[in-house]
Structure 1
Amino acid sequence: MTVLLLSVSATAVYGQQTQPSSSPVVVQPGAPGTPSRQLSSSTTAQAPQRSQADVEFMQGMIMHHGQAVEMTALIPSHTENKEIRSLGARIGLSQADEMKFMKRWLVARGEPVAMTMPGMPDMEKSGAPMQAMPGMLTPKQMEALRQAKGAEFDRLFLTGMIQHHNGALVMVKQLFDTPGAGQDAELFDFATDADNTQRAEIGIMQDMLKEKR
């Protein structure tokens, strides 16, 4: 009788050990600056649908990056400041590479690279669309940057690029605030990286401005 009891007890213990100790944990990553959240273990993984906000974000960010590249292209002929030259080269190269990525992302999904907005004049001719996008320098600001040299150029470049970077942060926030947007894995990683990088560069440029005062 004792043997039978021991046998049953051993079986019960063994059965407990083979069962998982807890249910699987499903975690949904949060947008930049927000924590991740734990979902129910019954949550079913589904491939996110591409939203129109995703497409417009990429198209708009290509235009946005284009102006930053234009700003950095002025540096070699407008200032001898080594810090500005180094920073500008880094920003110019990284944003040019990101523009290539965004274009590939759009083409791979059968979307146009350029943003089409009815009734909006061509950006290259009038510069008007630049004003509608967060952080974009106005034609007047760009002209002032082109005309400046030396220390004045450095100041205008830094203040202008801080404004520009802050606009990009707004664009990322607007993307993640849009229901159903920003779920594409490649887009999520890109937007998150862009947010982190531009925040870091804003800090660097703010410090450079303080040193000039």
Structure 2
Amino acid sequence: MHTKLLATAVAAAALIGLSACSGSDTSSAAFNSADVTFAQDMIPHHRQATEMAQLAAERTRNTDVLGLADHVIAAQQPEIDTMSGWLTSWDKEVPADSSGMGEMEGMDHGSSSSDMPGMMSEEDMSSLEAASGAAFDRQFLTMMIDHHEGAIEMASQEEVDGRIDQAVELAEKIQADQTAEISTMQRLLSS
């Protein structure tokens, strides 16, 4: 009886060890559709945020808004580059770099920009581009809060469904960074 229990325990330990090894190999080597969707959707999402942020330089003198806009560009462009590299290495389509929503809406990379939470419409972008001064600041902050909330929603989905550790870690970083930026933007709106 004692030998049978010992044999069962050894077999169970070996099975657990094998599944742990194969699980870590799979999670670091094989991507899934959630990883691809995350990267393919987050790239144009980030591009639109950087496009919005680039408008600030010529439309406001508010140093807090300018600093936030610079931070958005500095944070999100390297993430775009990272995700583009993943897609290339996975032999998946990298969304075309386009300027403006019109071109983005024509992209076919799994979902349209209108399906992505927080994406601004062409009208929203035109309205932001036409604004200046305090009106620009309010519109920029309000739109960027919505945009960030969309990115957080997309990142949360990757955290649940993604398989690649680096992609899940980036999703966690996006969620943390943009949650903090939303707090900053809400404070700026109320002041």
> Is the TM-score greater than 0.5?
yes
Gapped runs of 5+ residues in structure 1? 1-39, 116-121
Per the alignment, residue 79 of structure 2 pairs with 98
Distance 1:77 1:104 in 2: 32
Q: Give the direction of change, closer, same or farther, for the CA distance of 1:84–1:176 in structure 2 (3 Å limit).
A: same
Per the alignment, residue 133 of structure 1 pairs with 116
Once the 2 structures are TM-superposed, how far is the Cα of residue 89 of structure 1 from its aligned partner?
0.3
Determine if contact 1:127/1:139 at 8 Å carries over to the other structure.
no
Once the 2 structures are TM-superposed, how far is the Cα of residue 56 of structure 1 from its aligned partner?
1.1
Return the match for 1:187 from 157, 167, 191.
Answer: 167
Return the match for 2:102 from 124, 139, 143.
Answer: 124
Residue type of the alignment partner of 1:67 = Q
Correspondence 1:44 to 2:24 = no
Q: Give the direction of change, closer, same or farther, for the CA distance of 1:125–1:58 in structure 2 (3 Å limit).
A: closer
Determine if contact 1:78/1:153 at 8 Å carries over to the other structure.
yes
Gapped runs of 5+ residues in structure 2? 1-14, 107-111
What secondary structure, in the 3-state scheme, does the structure 1 residue paired with 2:20 have? coil
Q: Which moved more, 1:105-114 or 1:87-96?
A: 105-114
Distance 1:153 1:113 in 2: 32
Per the alignment, residue 30 of structure 1 pairs with none
Distance 2:128 2:78 in 1: 24
Distance 2:95 2:180 in 1: 28
Return the match for 2:52 from 68, 71, 75.
Answer: 71
Q: Which moved more, 1:131-140 or 1:44-53?
A: 44-53
Residue type of the alignment partner of 2:20 = T
Return the match for 1:62 from 9, 33, 43.
Answer: 43
What secondary structure, in the 3-state scheme, does the structure 1 residue paired with 2:147 have? helix
Correspondence 1:206 to 2:186 = yes
Once the 2 structures are TM-superposed, how far is the Cα of residue 97 of structure 1 from its aligned partner?
1.1
Select the structure that is richer in helix. 2
Distance 1:131 1:140 in 2: 13
Report Cα offsets for 1:81-108 as digits up to 9, x if no partner. 1111011001111111110111011112
What secondary structure, in the 3-state scheme, does the structure 2 residue paired with 1:80 have? coil
Per the alignment, residue 5 of structure 1 pairs with none
Alignment RMSD: 2.1
Runs (4+) off by over 6 Å: none
Determine if contact 2:159/2:171 at 8 Å carries over to the other structure.
no
Distance 1:195 1:73 in 2: 22
Determine if contact 2:156/2:172 at 8 Å carries over to the other structure.
no
Bigger CA radius of gyration: 1
Q: Percent identity?
A: 34
Distance 1:172 1:109 in 2: 19
Higher relative contact order, structure no. (Cα contacts within 8 Å, ≥ 6 residues apart): 2
Distance 1:112 1:183 in 2: 19
Residue type of the alignment partner of 1:208 = L
